[in-house]
Amino acid sequence: MGKSTSYTYDAASRLTAVKDPNGNSLTYAYDAGGNRVSETSPLGFKTTYGYDADGRQISRTEPRGNVAGATPGDFTWRTEYDLAGNATAEIDPFGKKTTSTYDSLDNLITSTDPNGKQTSYAYDDLNRLVQTTSPDGGVTKAAFDTAGNVVSSTDANQRVTTYEYDRAGRRTKSTDPLDRTVTYAYDPDGNRTKIVNARGQSITSTYDARGLPTSTTYSDGTPKSPTSTTTPAASARSSTERAGGASGTTGPTGP
């Protein structure tokens, strides 16, 4: 039998806790503006976040900077923004900077790491990400259907992953370059309820009346300890990978 991870929310539908099958919980706290200000692991390690007046995250302090006697700045990552609200730089605790540039439509066009290695992005006339070029010159491409769904992604080695959708535009199947498939199922409200990989292993999700995930069950029975990557939002992005299948093409700023 599979083991489940459960999710708890406050009255404002904000995620407040993720509990694994062994009872270990990852908890979250928010400020009056609804910004997540802290994340505490089952072992009590706390990561904190700071925001500017516009509600943009400008700092992230690792657990080592949140213990008695520590100097928070020695363990803090900072983010800078332009006037349009685009993140233009991320500065690590050592002062090393990763920078980003944007076009006039606020599409990310380059990202340059502290060593000067640059990744570039190209878009079509509908501002859809169609090509990513890595620092070593490798190119990945995405193709879309008339509804705007990604129907294929081609990696730098010309290996193609394809995607299928239902009439509502929900992904129902992905097939990787080795012809391994992942299938997806949904409830009448459009919530993704099940993912099954090529080996028949599944991830099943349940939802409350608000459409918020309340539990995730893995058919392999392996308990998943709660981390920042096991939140419902993160699970939606990475559930395909955990199911062992192909993943979708993502944009510069995330899926």
**What is the β-pairing status of strands 108-112 and 139-144?**
unpaired
The reported pLDDT for the residue numbered 225 is: 57
Residue 13 has pLDDT above 90, yes or no: yes
DSSP state of 64: G
Cα dist from 40 to 48, 99, 226, 239, whole Å = 9, 29, 10, 23
3-state secondary structure of 237: helix
Residue 147: is it exposed, middle or buried by C-beta count within 10 angstroms (0-12/13-18/19+)?
Answer: exposed
244 or 121, higher pLDDT:
121
- Tens of pLDDT, residue by residue over 216-226, are 999 886 655 56
The reported pLDDT for the residue numbered 89 is: 99
What's the length of the chain? 255
Q: What angle do CA 253, 254, 255 make, to 5 degrees?
A: 140
Q: DSSP strand E in the chain: where?
A: 3-9, 15-19, 25-30, 36-40, 46-51, 57-61, 76-81, 87-91, 97-102, 108-112, 118-123, 129-133, 139-144, 150-154, 160-165, 171-175, 181-186, 192-196, 202-207, 213-218
* Residue 44: band (very low, low, confident or very high) from pLDDT cuts 50, 70, 90: very high
Please report where in the chains the tokens 């193709």 appear, as a residue: 143
Q: Is residue 76 within 8 Å of 92, Cβ to Cβ?
A: no
3-state secondary structure of 242: helix
**What percent of the chain has pLDDT above 70?**
85
Cα dist from 7 to 18, 192, 233, whole Å = 5, 16, 11
Domain ranges in the chain are: 1-12+138-248
pTM of the model: 0.81
The reported pLDDT for the residue numbered 255 is: 33
Contacts of 198 (CB under 8 A, 6+ apart): 180, 181, 182, 244, 245
- Tens of pLDDT, residue by residue over 188-231, are 999 999 999 999 999 999 999 999 999 999 988 665 556 554 55
